[in-house]
Structure 1
Amino acid sequence: MMNLDNEAEELASTLGVDKTEVKRDLENLVSYSVPLEEAKQSLRRKYGDGDDGSGPEPESKDLAEITPEDSNVTVTGRVLSVGKRSIRYQGADHTIFEGEIADETGKLSYTAWEDFDLEPGETIQAGNAGVREWEDSAELNLGESTSVEKLEETLQVPYEIGGDAALIDLEPGDRGVNAEVTVLECDRKVIDGRDGETEILSGVLADETARLPFTDWDPHSEIETGESVRIENTYVREFRGAPSVNVSEFSTVETLDRTVEATESAPRLSIRDALESGGMFDVEIVGDAIAVRDGSGLIERCPECGRIVQNGQCRTHGQVEPVEDLRTKAILDDGTGTVTAILDDELTAEIYGGDVDDAREHARDAMDKEVVADAIREAIVGRSFRVRGTLSIDEYGANLNATDFAAITDDPADRAAALLSEVDA
């Protein structure tokens, strides 16, 4: 991890200014993801030092050799994709360009803090490119001190050019992505944005491979429920543990003259493979219910925010008059791993055999709310279920917020054989 104190001391000494002030400015720039070398160069300009800070030409490296420990490098590669979006630092909007670049050995993401007029498919040599750690990997940073030369000879690389992608292949951190999709759901909302109240679109996109949530930060009229569209220059963020497509003011949206078929099914994975994905918006797993966790059955929620309350106390709203609800937190195991499936009131009512009113009466007759959770345990523990929903993973574990929860009657021997063949593969 960079030592900003040492960097500030060296820079202050060179510039002949107060270290405290330089460190404050340096920390501010770096906190807004400005690469260290670019931040230092900005401060040199601010305090009037004419040195461009370039020094000797950095070492040339293959992309596969570059690590976050590298400071500055020179690379030759082919531009795979180019995205454009706006970020804000020091109270001002700044346009950046980002995507992926590749050579014969591998590919890396990049951020260009200046407009180098990059186009997908171009072969370039980038001299004095900065390197930082981003999403646990190295990322190239192209700025004022970077020289970019476009080469006539085309570098052959084992990657697709242009940024077109299927939804199933998208991961948080992807930039410059193009997708052809159908709009399954689309709602217009007003949120508190960085410039006050902001109108956005949000909903669900689908193609033949998967479904993903989206947010359009600059509502495009072409994005409407039921429309098939091509969206260019999107970026992907993590939302509730799963990839989410983000459409910006720099994105282009075109209505297609064909219908993009939306997949009706979700990818079916073993629990282990689902967990290794890091989170999925729509996934299906099959497993045995081995336990029902505490916090299941007849529960109480805050009427304001919907959070669980204890003894009438909401962590956000204090003392409230709680609203009763049904919920199930079932632990599922398929032999490769475990996950907690969370069932809402409707799915819980199906397996419990009654609604909230029935559960309330059941608990009142027994003078114990736990009888509702016990009835749910008796109904599902030891049985096999097919579960579909959104998988999110955080420091508290893996939760599958179920949209479907169905008992299965497959022959256990057949399922075991199928699982073993998947594990062996």
Structure 2
Amino acid sequence: MNIDDHAEELASDLGVDKAEVKENLQNLVEYSVPVEEAKRSLRRKYGDEGGSSSGGPTAVDIADIGPDSGNVTVTAKVLTAGQRSIRYQGDDHVIREGELADETGTISYTAWEDFGLEAGDTATIGNASVREWEGNPELNFGESSTVSKAEDFDVPYEVGGDRALADLSPGDRGRNVEAKVTEVEERTIDGRDGETEILSGVLGDESARLPFTDWDPHAEITEGASIRAEDVYVREFRGVPSVNVSEFSTVTELDREVEVGGPTRLSIREAVERGGAYDVELVGNVIEVRDGSGLIQRCPECGRVVQKGQCRQHGDVDGEDDLRVKAILDDGTDTVTAVLDRDLTEEVYGGGIEDARQQARDAMDQEVVADTISEKLVGSEYRVRGHLSVDEYGANLETIEFAASDDDPAERARAFLQEVEA
């Protein structure tokens, strides 16, 4: 059933105007309230406590829950419990969220009311609705649901939110991390209450480095500080997990220094299959320098590369000169495009913007700069460090370090053969 059908059914049952019901229902659904929960909410609003499907929700194992499961009852252990503030129709609302588990599997949840659930609790949650969130089922429960303590049982999953940075995934809620603030800056953004001050930067521990955003700046988050941040949630940012610190997060400074590891060394295939990776190191041969490298022009308004004086967003513009390399890196497992900014491009080119302009003028051909870079890079092996994103346009590495590899190919081949034989 679509929204129109649901609204017509509700209006008929309640004896109210369909257009009014549809508007209220659509607002709730657009705010990510599951449609069945939204319908129950509207029935209560109009004084109809009946009208729900008979027979009650079915008790199920978590492994059997799918996006189309409708209303269910589950008995599960709370693995993590966090909270976050969201805004709906001008009002702030605090939701509780985290992860549940039984012997068969795990599922994320959103509680629209405070049921007092904490990590380690075991509860039976009745009349919970299921929605799809980022391709997976998610349990939602609110006023029309029941939550009661249940007999404790063991689950084959870790209870509690403590995680290393490398173990975080987009969609995680109620996580706790201990990390060092390796980079931080204050920024002003257009928030839901107008201009808002936030902090952004990079956290690091022995396992990985990840970007973070602090939406309610905590005084403890300063460059070089080792901190414990409790009740953080994780979103995807440019294809990698990003740690989000909120007003409900607790941040304390540690009395020890967190050691920060170097970049994660992966094969290109491993990095691509992850769907993205932050601070990753790849080693491979440059097999091609792609079009759009060398001396390029950017739009002075948005920074996009312009072609023949045309910006896709701003039309005719006087482009500003810049240098860039888009090099295809191949390690035998897969390929990735390593994108070098002006500073790194100047290093591999051996000159700056003015040198590139002069070479292009002398040759009466702008492409000569890219040709020079290609002659230097293609066929050689490089160690490349950066941040990998994977999307419909392919795998691209935002490069922060680019240097000739000192790896021994013969040793790498022997290690590969030993792995195959094992």
Q: Give yes or no for TM over 0.5.
A: yes
Picking from 164, 168, 171, the partner of 1:170 is 168
Structure 2 residue aligned with 1:311: 308
> Cα distance 1:42–1:109, how it changes in 2: closer, same or farther (>3 A)?
same
Structure 1 residues 38-47 or 72-81, which shifts more? 38-47
Structure 2 residue aligned with 1:93: 92
Structure 1 residue aligned with 2:47: 48
Alignment of 1:336-375 (within 5 A): 336-375=333-372
Structure 2 residue aligned with 1:213: 211
Alignment of 1:148-159 (within 5 A): 148-151=147-150, 153-159=151-157
Within 2, Cα distance between the matches of 1:358 and 1:352?
10
Structure 1 residues 242-275: Cα deviation after superposition (integer angstroms, max 9, x where no partner): 1111111111111111111111x11111111111
Structure 1 residues 261-317: Cα deviation after superposition (integer angstroms, max 9, x where no partner): 111x11111111111111122111112211111100001112333221223333334
> Cα distance 1:423–1:279, how it changes in 2: closer, same or farther (>3 A)?
farther
Alignment of 1:384-403 (within 5 A): 384-403=381-400
The share of aligned pairs that are identical, in percent, is 67
> What amino acid is the match of 2:130?
V
1:291 and 2:293 equivalent?
Answer: no
Structure 2 residue aligned with 1:204: 202
> Cα distance 1:50–1:27, how it changes in 2: closer, same or farther (>3 A)?
same
Tell me how large the CA RMSD over aligned residues is: 1.7
Within 2, Cα distance between the matches of 1:327 and 1:271?
22
Within 1, Cα distance between the matches of 2:420 and 2:391?
25
> What amino acid is the match of 1:410?
D
Structure 1 residues 334-343 or 50-59, which shifts more? 50-59
Structure 1 residues 329-366: Cα deviation after superposition (integer angstroms, max 9, x where no partner): 01112222111110111111121121111111111110
Structure 2 residue aligned with 1:121: 120
Structure 2 residue aligned with 1:83: 82
> Cα distance 1:416–1:17, how it changes in 2: closer, same or farther (>3 A)?
farther
Structure 2 residue aligned with 1:241: 239
CA positional deviation for 1:421? 5.5
> What amino acid is the match of 1:9?
E
Within 2, Cα distance between the matches of 1:57 and 1:46?
21
Structure 1 residue aligned with 2:249: 251
Structure 2 residue aligned with 1:187: 185
State the secondary structure of the residue aligned to 1:389: strand
Within 2, Cα distance between the matches of 1:163 and 1:418?
37
Within 2, Cα distance between the matches of 1:372 and 1:98?
53
Within 2, Cα distance between the matches of 1:391 and 1:175?
23
Within 1, Cα distance between the matches of 2:168 and 2:416?
26
Which consecutive unaligned segments of at least 5 residues does structure 1 have?
none
> What amino acid is the match of 1:138?
P
Structure 1 residues 217-244: Cα deviation after superposition (integer angstroms, max 9, x where no partner): 1111111111111101111111122111
Contact 1:130/1:140, CA 8 A, preserved across alignment: yes
Structure 1 residues 365-389: Cα deviation after superposition (integer angstroms, max 9, x where no partner): 1010101111111111111111110
Within 2, Cα distance between the matches of 1:369 and 1:420?
45
> What amino acid is the match of 2:49?
G
Structure 1 residues 134-191: Cα deviation after superposition (integer angstroms, max 9, x where no partner): 121111111112111112x321011111111100011111111100111111111111
Within 2, Cα distance between the matches of 1:40 and 1:423?
57
Alignment of 1:9-88 (within 5 A): 9-51=8-50, 53=52, 55-88=54-87
CA positional deviation for 1:410? 2.9
> What amino acid is the match of 1:176?
G
State the secondary structure of the residue aligned to 1:175: coil
Within 1, Cα distance between the matches of 2:127 and 2:264?
43
> What amino acid is the match of 1:381?
V
CA positional deviation for 1:8? 2.0
CA positional deviation for 1:52? 6.9
Structure 1 residue aligned with 2:402: 405
1:330 and 2:335 equivalent?
Answer: no
Within 2, Cα distance between the matches of 1:250 and 1:85?
7
State the secondary structure of the residue aligned to 1:81: strand
Within 2, Cα distance between the matches of 1:258 and 1:52?
59
Contact 1:236/1:244, CA 8 A, preserved across alignment: yes
Within 1, Cα distance between the matches of 2:402 and 2:54?
62
Structure 1 residues 379-409: Cα deviation after superposition (integer angstroms, max 9, x where no partner): 1111111111011112211110011111214
> Cα distance 1:71–1:303, how it changes in 2: closer, same or farther (>3 A)?
same
Alignment: residue pair count: 422
> What amino acid is the match of 1:16?
G
Structure 1 residue aligned with 2:146: 147
> What amino acid is the match of 1:369?
Q
Within 2, Cα distance between the matches of 1:424 and 1:317?
57
Structure 2 residue aligned with 1:111: 110
Which consecutive unaligned segments of at least 5 residues does structure 2 have?
none
Contact 1:211/1:281, CA 8 A, preserved across alignment: yes
CA positional deviation for 1:19? 2.7
Picking from 265, 270, 273, the partner of 2:267 is 270
Within 2, Cα distance between the matches of 1:232 and 1:359?
50
Structure 2 residue aligned with 1:134: 133
CA positional deviation for 1:91? 2.3
